[in-house]
Structures are given as structure tokens and as C-alpha cells.
Structure 1
């Protein structure tokens, strides 16, 4: 199963300048819980936004840079090649960024969204989730608090 996972603003903003524009500790915990032990597919810029590779995950980086290397990671030049590397009988995750989400959407079986209830200025956006193709099967609202500046909702979508 291929699952796309992202934190997305109301206006589908993902981030600006290769950084998230919000800080939601519970979203980080959820991301870690869901993706640990799995293959994660990302673009080069997303990988480079991490201080180091994420522990307990197999990193697959998609880049057009022919000589690109990252220690302990698999490097490919297409989504198709990234998906070929993933074990067919296990769950793998597409974790971003914007361009990778766009090219990965047709291959995705499930989408895990943390919907941040605010619009943000951004330079990377998540693709529109077409209600004719996707149905929401879970929605869990979370109010802002001392550690979370914005209300947010965990949403799970599956293909119709």
C-alpha cells in the first residue's frame, strides 16, 4: 500500500523556503508513529530540509541530479523507480514535497493529512484532493493549545 502523508493548510500550503510554516508537535509524533519502520519516498529538497536522515526508516530520494548521493539512502530519478524499490507486501509512504506529491498522487492508495486550519503564504502546495476520487474515512479535530498555535484535524482519505 502506498500512503501519502502531509501537513497541509486550508489553502493547501505545505511550506515556504523549504521549511514548514507552522509547528505542531503532535503532528510530528503522528508522522513518526505512522512512518517508522517503513520506506519513505521524498524529493531531494525535502530530504535536505532534515538535519539528518530520519531514524528507523528507509529513505528513497527522487532527484534529477545524476551525481547526487546521500549516505544510507537510495537515490532514483523517477517515482516509478522509487516505487519499484518499495516492498510490494508492505506499506510505503510518500512524504513530499509539493512536486513529489503531484507525481505520486496517481500511485497513492490512501492519504493521511493533518489539515492546519489557517491559510499560509507558501511556495509549495499539496495537490487538490478530488472528492470524486477520494472519500474521507476518518476525521479527528484538535484544538489549538499552548504547544499548538493552530487548530488542526487529522484526516484519512481512501480511493472511492
Structure 2
């Protein structure tokens, strides 16, 4: 199964200057729980935004650069190749950024979206979810609290067949 996982604002903002524009600890915990033990596919800029590789995950980085190499990281030059390399994993996650999400919308089976309630200035955006192609199967709202300045909703979509 190929799953897109993202947190996007109501205006589909993902981030600005290669960073998130909100801090949601519960969303980080959910991301870690869902992706641990699996392959995570991302673009190079998304990979570069991490202080270090995420533990307990196989990183597959898509880049146009022929010279990009990092120890312990699988480097490929297309989404198709990335997906091929992950065939043995029962669930592979696409974790960004905006361009990779756009490409993955054509081939993914599932979307795990955290919808952050607010609009933000951004330079990376999540693609629109076409209701003709995707069916909402789960929804869980979280209000603001002392650790979360924004309310958010976990949304799970499955591709209609």
C-alpha cells in the first residue's frame, strides 16, 4: 500500500522556507507511530529539512542531482523507481514535499492528512483532494490546548476503485 502522509492547512499550506509553519506535538507522535518500521519516500528538500535521518525508517530520497549521496539513505531519480524499491514493504509512506505529493496523488492508495485549521503563508502546498477519486473513511478532531496553538483534524482517505 502506498500512503501519502501530510499536515496541511485549510489553504493547503505545507510549509515555508523548508520548514513547517506550526508545531503540533500530537501530529508528530502520530507520524512517528504510523511511519516507524516502514520506507518513507521524500524529495531532497524535505530530507534536508531534517536535522538527522528519522530513526527506524528506511529513507528513500528523490533528487535530480546525480551527485547527491548520504550514508544510509537510498537515493533515486524518480518516484516510480522509489516505489519499485519499496515493493516488499506492506505500507510505504510518501512524506513530501509539495511536488512529490502532486506526483504521488496519481498512484497512492491512501491519504493520511492532518488538516490544520487555519490559513498560513507558505511556499509549498498540498494538492487538492479530488472527491471523485478519494473517499473519506475516518475523521478525528483535536482542539487547541496548552501544547497545540491550532486545532486540527486527522482525515483518512482511500482511493475509490
TM-score class, shorter-chain normalisation, is: over 0.9
Q: 2:107 matched to which residue of 1?
A: 107
TM-score, normalising length: structure 2: 0.98
Q: 1:49 matched to which residue of 2?
A: 49
Q: 1:126 matched to which residue of 2?
A: 126
Give the secondary structure class of the aligned counterpart of 2:137: strand
Gap regions ≥5 residues in structure 2: none
Q: Using the alignment, how far apart are the partners of 1:3 and 1:89 within structure 2?
A: 11
Does the C-alpha gap of structure 1 residues 22 and 44 become closer, same or farther in structure 2, counting only changes over 3 Å? same
2:69 is aligned with 1:69: yes
- Count of residues in Structure 1 that have an aligned counterpart in Structure 2: 160
Q: 1:151 matched to which residue of 2?
A: 151
Give the secondary structure class of the aligned counterpart of 1:137: strand
Gap regions ≥5 residues in structure 1: none
Shift of residue 2, structure 1, vs aligned partner: 0.2
Q: 1:26 matched to which residue of 2?
A: 26
Moved more, 79-88 or 136-145: 79-88
TM-score, normalising length: structure 1: 0.98
Q: 2:139 matched to which residue of 1?
A: 139
Q: Hey, which bits of structure 1, 4+ residues long, moved more than 6 A? A: none
CA RMSD of aligned residues (A): 0.7
Query: Is the 2:39–2:89 Cα contact (8 Å) retained in structure 1?
Result: no
Give the secondary structure class of the aligned counterpart of 1:107: coil
